[in-house]
């Protein structure tokens, strides 16, 4: 693992702007390398393998689904010169390669290593008599009563198969009970049952034996069809187009319309069919016909068709040595010894760097606001917050206590629509003023504003962040959050809320960059200003950190800045369409990706600006959708000490990382630097855990 690792060359694109889909697949290759890395704890390697599966599910549901729809008409973006169908075929081939590598890693690396540690997934032939008896008893008690096998005939047509659900296709011998030649049946696995089942360890010589639900059903599938012989069978899973579409110009009530549309997501157009590697061709052809899919859409896999479900094992295995060491996030010095957050924020700005520092102060900020009799109003944006949220509970309590609470709730947050609809209903029931942002523009900005009555009148306190108000993901995602009582910032945050609720034109903002109005323009202006400084012989530097870089306008400005002599370092976790290091185009641009224990999620913009060092934190990636089709906010870090923290922790630490870094090459591939395992050089994330976390014997 010390040598350079190169992603397969077919993931590159020959054009100046690298292709988004290939870049997303390249990101998943980098995640897969975490699963292959022996330096990563074993159960965490399994987790990374499952993350690849989850990422690919979304990639298929959204990106490939859109491309497939385009390919059917040979129109749309992404077609390039080869035509959309040819382009889709290339994407599908690259996806097949990644899936094959994923299952190879599972079968040749992860499962044997788990078995060495006493953690085994027992197939039917590997189970001893006592284990088989236990599985049989479990099947007849817990599984069979929930199964409804469907023999196919004109009165029993092919059933509706939900998106990503586990199913079996079965070929039967002879005739059915009515003397008819019905040879195919479908068995749906109930979603209420666990996919991974732990057997009692005393039943064999394995410390932690597991069986998969699919294995339990396979072992007893013949018990579902009486005297008919099962000739062949296979588990299968179909992935469907999950991108919701609403004619927002026609919608009168967005929540009602979305509530009616959500159930159809499970039954969208089929995009991918996964079956077992040994599934007979006849059954594979039958399923492809039923789902109106082609050979390129068929994925034969050597293992469970939904690898994501294996993540359930991680929580069931109490083996700390096979997981990352326990980590306790710390608190910033400016909060220590000060229980009253409003006093602390009034004194000076406070920066939180998650997950290295705790998210608790954000929850406490809203809880204290709810309980404080001097607080008269709370305003909050919500994009993702989870089904159980302390943040939302605090807002509910604030309303019960008579505060004026306004929540700008984004109903169209992909895959969180149902949770957000449920929260909207709960909030409205207690009297919260709930608005859904601006039709056609997702509200992705991360803002909270508390208005408090103090001596001299009303005073506002704000929290602005790069990540969601989601306590669970705040333990897993890297993000920045800023508390401030600066009047100029709080006034502009208030203006943004007025804009979102009243739909009035927003007043001119001096400090905040607001998409879709000024963020893109000001970003381009800041890049161009650095280019101007470079052309005049002044030092010029741009640093950026984000999840994705795809906007062609920003890329063009960065290319021009590079040609002017600006030194540019970009830290882009996922998809990047900019091609760095091309002579005469991007010689001065370097792009790196960091993949580690935590998901890199922060957005940081840095411009040297003749030594002023302008630093912005933002909710927006440098993507067209963020800059032009969403409500996003970038905000400056004005406190000199906190600005230096962002530069040191959010940028310099990552530029010095030689352990978890991947460098994007001019040909569109990614490589790890040689000698990256240099002793005594921690990764950026390890460094920040030690710097900001609470002391622990395990660290």
Catalytic sites, residue numbers? 444
Q: Where are the beta strands (DSSP E) in 65-135?
A: 119-121
The pair of structure tokens assigned to 100 is 């094959």
Distance of alpha carbon 64 from alpha carbon 239, whole angstroms: 10
* DSSP conformation class of 74: T
Quick one: angle between helices 417-430 and 390-400, nearest 10? Answer: 20
Neighbours of 2 (CB within 10 A): 11
Q: How many residues does the chain have?
A: 699
∠651-670-562 over CA atoms, to 5°?
Answer: 55
Give the separation between CA 264 and CA 271, rounded to whole angstroms: 15
**Which residue has 């840095």 as its token pair?**
606
CA dihedral 243→246→249→252, nearest 10 degrees, is -140
Beta strands in 488-618 (DSSP E): 513-515, 541-546, 567-572, 589-594, 599-600, 604-607, 614-618
For the chain, first and last CA: distance in Å? 23
User: Which 3 state secondary structure label does DSSP give 672?
Assistant: coil
Angle at 39 between CA 601 and CA 119, to 5 degrees: 100
Label residues 375-413 b or e (16+ Cβ within 10 Å = b).
Answer: bebbbbbbbbbbeebbbbebbbbbbeeebebbbbbbbbb
**Cβ atoms within 10 Å of 209's Cβ, excluding its own:** 23
**Distances in whole angstroms, Cα of residue 600 to Cα of each of 308, 354, 479, 604, 659:** 21, 10, 8, 12, 15
CA angle in degrees (0–180, nearest 5) for 462-468-469: 60
DSSP 408-457: EE-TT-TT-HHHHHHHHHHHHHHT-EEE--BTTBEE--EEEEEEEEETTE
| Nearest partner of 167 among 92, 244, 270, 65, judged by Cα | 270
């Amino acid at each position: 693992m010390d040598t350079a690792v190169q992603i397969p060359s077919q993931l590159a694109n020959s054009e100046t702007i690298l292709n988004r889909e290939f870049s997303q697949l390249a990101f998943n290759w980098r995640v897969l390398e975490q699963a292959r890395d022996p330096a990563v704890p074993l159960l965490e390697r399994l987790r990374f393998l499952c993350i690849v599966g989850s990422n690919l599910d979304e990639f298929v549901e959204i990106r490939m689904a859109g491309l497939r729809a385009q390919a059917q008409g040979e129109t749309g973006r992404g077609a390039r010169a080869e035509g959309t169908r040819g382009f889709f075929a290339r994407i599908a081939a690259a996806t097949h390669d990644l899936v094959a590598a994923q299952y190879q890693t599972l079968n040749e690396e992860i499962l044997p290593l788990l078995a060495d540690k006493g953690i085994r997934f027992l197939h039917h032939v590997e189970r001893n008599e006592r284990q088989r008896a236990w599985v049989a008893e479990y099947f007849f008690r817990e599984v069979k009563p929930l199964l409804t096998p469907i023999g196919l005939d004109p009165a029993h047509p092919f059933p509706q198969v939900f998106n990503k659900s586990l199913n079996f296709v079965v070929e039967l011998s002879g005739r059915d009970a009515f003397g008819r030649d019905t040879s195919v049946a479908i068995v749906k696995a109930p979603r209420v049952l666990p996919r991974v089942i732990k057997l009692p360890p005393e039943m064999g010589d394995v410390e932690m034996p597991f069986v998969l639900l699919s294995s339990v059903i396979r072992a007893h599938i013949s018990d579902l069809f009486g005297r008919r012989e099962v000739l062949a069978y296979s588990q299968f899973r179909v992935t469907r187009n999950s991108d919701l579409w609403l004619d927002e110009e026609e919608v009168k009530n967005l929540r009602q319309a979305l509530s009616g549309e959500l159930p159809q997501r499970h039954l969208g157009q089929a995009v991918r069919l996964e079956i077992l590697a040994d599934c007979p061709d006849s059954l594979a052809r039958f399923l492809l016909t039923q789902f109106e899919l082609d050979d390129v859409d068929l994925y034969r896999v050597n293992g469970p068709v939904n690898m994501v479900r294996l993540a359930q094992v991680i929580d069931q295995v109490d083996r700390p040595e096979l997981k990352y060491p326990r980590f306790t996030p710390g608190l910033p010095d400016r909060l220590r010894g000060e229980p009253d957050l409003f006093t602390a924020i009034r004194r000076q700005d406070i920066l939180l760097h998650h997950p290295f520092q705790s998210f608790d102060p954000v929850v406490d900020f809203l809880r204290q606001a709810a309980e404080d009799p001097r607080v008269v109003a709370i305003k909050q944006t919500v994009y993702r917050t989870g089904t159980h949220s302390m943040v939302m509970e605090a807002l509910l309590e604030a309303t019960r206590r008579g505060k004026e609470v306004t929540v700008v709730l984004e109903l169209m947050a992909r895959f969180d629509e149902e949770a957000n609809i449920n929260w909207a209903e709960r909030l409205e029931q207690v009297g919260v003023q709930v608005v859904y942002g601006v039709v056609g523009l997702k509200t992705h900005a991360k803002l909270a504003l508390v208005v408090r009555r103090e001596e001299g009148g009303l005073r506002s306190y704000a929290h602005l962040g790069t990540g969601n108000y989601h306590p669970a993901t705040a333990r897993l995602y890297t993000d920045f959050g800023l508390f401030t009582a600066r009047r100029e910032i709080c006034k502009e945050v208030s203006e943004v809320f007025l804009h979102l609720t009243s739909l009035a034109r927003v007043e001119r903002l001096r400090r905040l960059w607001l998409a879709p109005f000024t963020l893109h323009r000001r970003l381009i202006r800041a890049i161009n200003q650095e280019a101007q400084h470079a052309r005049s012989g002044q030092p010029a530097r741009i640093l950026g950190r984000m999840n994705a870089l795809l906007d062609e306008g920003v890329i063009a400005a960065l290319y021009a800045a590079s040609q002017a002599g600006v030194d540019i370092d970009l830290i882009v976790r996922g998809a990047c369409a900019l091609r760095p290091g091309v002579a005469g185009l991007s010689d001065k641009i370097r792009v790196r990706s960091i993949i580690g224990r935590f998901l890199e999620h922060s957005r940081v913009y840095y411009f040297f600006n003749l030594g002023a060092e302008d630093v912005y934190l933002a909710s927006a990636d440098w993507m067209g959708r963020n800059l032009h089709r969403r409500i996003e906010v970038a905000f400056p870090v004005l406190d000199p000490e906190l600005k230096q923290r962002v530069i040191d922790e959010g940028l310099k630490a990552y530029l010095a990382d030689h352990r978890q870094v991947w460098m994007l090459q001019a040909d569109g591939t990614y490589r790890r630097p040689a000698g990256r395992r240099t002793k005594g050089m921690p990764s950026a994330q390890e460094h920040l855990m030690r710097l900001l976390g609470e002391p622990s014997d395990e660290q």
